[in-house]
Amino acid sequence: MATTTASLAISSSDLQPSNRLSINASSLLMKTGLTEGLEILDSGTGELTVAMSHKKLNDALGTADTSNWMYLANHATDDTHYIEVGLHDTIIGRLYAGDWMFTPWNMSDAAAEWSIEAEGGTQKYEYAFFKSTYVLADSVQGSINP
């Protein structure tokens, strides 16, 4: 059984002198409805250039309403370079040099693809997709028999 754990630690001693920030969270990523861990679907690294326009990062695989996650990191070292991140036709944000994101993802159809675009110059990036192959059976999804 695969075991994938996502952990996050955020701390600051100088946000407010009287209120120091300390957030620690951890979660074992599980397949939908089961006690089995998620497995890596796809991972890798790449390099974006401004001339590339946008790059499609993945294909949606039709596993809607299951446990799926996406990780993306911008490994640029110039703080004026960023990656614009889009989900289908919607720009959801920018990852500046050293930034990363980890988010749940509904891989339902062709409109659920991630795309990335370099702004400011050439940038190296890293990605990983985690997915669940478990799909709820029709009988579980919910009709009540009289």
User: Token pair for residue 21?
Assistant: 């920030």
pLDDT value, residue 138:
42
- Whether 99 and 27 have beta carbons less than 8 Å apart is answered as no
The three-state secondary structure class of 107 is coil
pLDDT tens for the chain, residues 1 to 146: 567 788 888 888 776 666 777 889 888 887 766 667 776 667 888 888 887 766 777 655 555 667 788 889 999 999 899 999 988 788 999 999 999 999 888 776 666 788 889 998 888 999 888 877 644 444 333 333 33
The domains found in the chain, sorted by start residue, are 34-131 (2.60.120.1540)
The identity of residue 88, as a single letter, is H
Q: Write down the pLDDT at residue 94.
A: 95
What distance in Å separates the CA atoms of residue 21 and residue 109, rounded to the nearest whole number? 39
The answer to whether 83 and 37 are in contact (CB under 8 A) is no
